[in-house]
Structure 1
Amino acid sequence: MVDPIPEWLAAYAQAYENLNQNTLQSDLSPLLCEQIYFEDPFNRIHGKTDTLSLFEHMFATLQAPKFTVLDMAVGQNGTGYLYWRFDFRYRHRTQQFDGMSKVAFDTDGRVRSHIDYWDPAKHVYSQIPILRSLLRFAEQRLALPQKCKTRA
């Protein structure tokens, strides 16, 4: 039997999916505690004001950013997990990637920690020609040799 998704996780997932410049203050801000810790591959931020500023920066930098929550799970001690897809346009090019967020809630149901996990090498660094070559080289050196891979 699958445990039901708690209200606090469902509310945060809904706010995350409906996130836009107009909903930052009205929908997202009330769900964050003042001392929230936010982390993604590029940022480590403490505090609600700076976390909201990061999202404002995202809307100023990217065109039509949109998160779609594909799945949710409940962990231990007020922790939830969101598996999401992020769609956006940058320099008139549509892009998309999947990621996971580990979200910890305080006893009042507000987010005290949000940590994103996604692959910046695959989705950002590989877009830069010189880095793409270095990444390809590293992948070739670290991958299991082709002769060792089984075929299905």
Structure 2
Amino acid sequence: MSDFLEHFARDFASLDKHSLQRLGQLYSEDIQFTDPLHEVHGLPRLQNYFVELYANISELRFEFHGADTCGDGQGYLRWTMSYRHPRLEGGQWIRVPGCSHLHWRDGKVYRHRDYFDAGALLYEHLPILGRVIAWLKRRLG
């Protein structure tokens, strides 16, 4: 794992709702953050996104499993996100694997794109929609 990716993964995994001011140490002012559910431009909006994220969950953890550098200033991190939400799955842990494609310059990430199954993250855990998705998966699988 590159020094940059190792440092980023360690620092990102240590974030919580009390340390979001440290996002500026990881991301540039012009950050473009994208995941299957959101697209955010700029550090202030990214900070707001994380504030809202942490306000709606009980706990959130990232475990990083590996990394690949794919050129100068870009690479991938593989991870499992675990979270608990009081209204999903009875507050039990929900685990979702994914990966992040990062672009960095001058020691900060300016492009962050996450790849994960949005259904496994959220939709499958909603009471009515979850049953419909489970039925569809059985029919298609």
> Do both share a fold (TM > 0.5)?
yes
2:100 is aligned to 101
5+ long unaligned stretches in structure 2: none
Asked if structure 1 preserves the Cα contact closer than 8 Å seen for 2:30 and 2:43, the reply is yes
Computing the radius of gyration from Cα coordinates, the structure with the larger value is: 1
Quick one: which amino acid aligns to residue 105 of structure 1?
W
1:17 is aligned to 13
* 1:1-152 to 2 correspondences below 5 Å: 5-26=1-22, 28-91=23-86, 92-106=91-105, 108-143=106-141
5+ long unaligned stretches in structure 1: 144-152
Distance (Å, rounded) in 2 between the aligned partners of 1:60 and 1:136: 28
Quick one: which amino acid aligns to residue 33 of structure 1?
S
Asked if structure 2 preserves the Cα contact closer than 8 Å seen for 1:39 and 1:114, the reply is yes
Q: Bigger shift: 129-138 or 33-42?
A: 129-138
Q: CA RMSD in A?
A: 1.7
Distance (Å, rounded) in 1 between the aligned partners of 2:93 and 2:135: 26
Quick one: which amino acid aligns to residue 115 of structure 1?
R
For this pair of structures, how many residues does the alignment match? 137
